[in-house]
Structure 1
Amino acid sequence: MKRYRNREVWDFEMETPVSRDSADVILGLDGGAAATVCVCISAALPSFAGCIPNPFPVLARAVAGFSNHNSVGESAAKETIEKVMAEALLKAGSNRSAVRAVCLALAGVNHPSDQERILDWLRFVNLIYCEKFFLSNLVGYFNTLISGDYSGFLIKAVLLIPSFRNIFPVRVKLFVENDAVAALASGTMGKLHGCVLIAGTGTIAYGFTEDGREARAAGAGPILGDWGRWTYADPSWTRIAKLSPAVVSSAEAGDEVANRILHDTVLELTASVKAVVQRLDLCGEGILT
């Protein structure tokens, strides 16, 4: 897949156009500090009435690198997200004209401002540059009104148009959530009610009540804590995270240090879950995912 910064990631849509009557699709993306997965499914799936088919009817699946903007930076995260969505559509023999909804479940989306920033990026690329262009050329625009010579201003505007790209048309429904929200919904048939625990490269406990209240614990990263994550006490998180299988194997073999690491990690994870459950009064409901 070609690089996002060269604006070539969607070139396949011109090379292999899809007919107008092609089936509508939905994109679902799960992104974190270890990997990013995007699946493309049909928008015409029937109701499963509480029973999800196994295997689930996925049209295509694409995998890419990191997409947590707190870990790799915003530019790299955006590039990964756009590339993996394009690859999923390419594998499915589809393109953006057939997309009806997109859901991004991303680690690092911790505040409404994070959601809005990503939604703005999905709707318009280079919107800030667009604003700067017109502000910087405002004097020139008024001069053209006086002189009647529009050629210079129009040439600049036409050259700028290719950089104003809607990744998805306005009609496409866009959803951006923390990856814990998708993790909970995947275990409750789509209902946001209960508590979920993610313990991977990072860790977070997230909970929802039926009336819409929510709470979270951990998930702040290694600087502020997040002690249950697999980076443990070493800041070299990518290197340390890869050691988790070896730690588990050593613990199963009776290694004392490995068992102490797992024991301490479990205590921290349990404390996170308890904090969320108690805050939302979910005790005794048996809805831990």
Structure 2
Amino acid sequence: MALIQDALRRPLEYVKGVPLIKYFAEALGPLENFRARPDDLLISTYPKSGTTWVSQILDMIYQNGDLDKCHRAPIFMRVPFLEFKAPGVPSGLETLKDTPAPRLIKTHLPLALVPQTLLDQKVKVVYVARNAKDVAVSYYHFYQMAKVHPDPGTWDSFLEKFMAGEATPASTEEPSAAQNPKREIRKILEFVGRSLPEDTLDFIAQHTSFEEMKKNPMTNYSTLPKEFMDHSVSPFMRRGTAGDWKTTFTVAQNERFDADYAEKMAGCSLSFRSQL
């Protein structure tokens, strides 16, 4: 594992102006050979915005609520990460080749970098967004424990990079979904054109709660080697709620962030809950 450790914590690389993890940038070339299928479903998110939660919901829907089937493999095998690449482990593209249809596919790529084949096939897309302050805090902790990222440095310096768009990249809205998860599960169910009994929806809501997923090795990424994700630094699933940013942002940082956000998001109709 020493060779793997030596290969991690590399600087980000820019592709079409988008900062990417070095190995993910290298994966874009081979992705030109990826061929989407009409029944693929793409889960498109900015990191730390509820991706794993929605992935588990969709897999449980696809498996008709059968929890044993959802324990067949870790979430990153059941829902391949399209642009994933890292030393010594299968890439997202390699995992996809062994994934039976209908496939669930995860990506953090912005539209400019999404393989054209997904657009040509007009696959269904579930887009997940979250309030930016909680994303920033969650991402900072993730940078510390997930070693494919560069070293994040101090919180203050990381926040500046995040605001400048120098952290790696971005419908259901995760924070509001936490208030009424069954409503959001029903929306997703209808979107994918499926139906399930009411008691199955209750079962899915129970087993996709943050508390259940945090202790489930098939969703909490604890099966990955420590060289990639060090859960002793910070758990992959840390808080799962809106408003945690208040424990990290200073008053000055909050004011600066609000001003910057208002400027960059002017004209955007999306609204987010920053606390529950």
Q: Do they superpose with TM above 0.5? A: no
CA radius of gyration, larger in: 1
Instruction: Identify which of structures 1 and 2 has the higher relative contact order when contacts are C-alpha pairs closer than 8 Å and 6+ apart.
Output: 2
Name the structure with the higher strand share.
1
Q: TM-score, normalised by structure 1?
A: 0.29
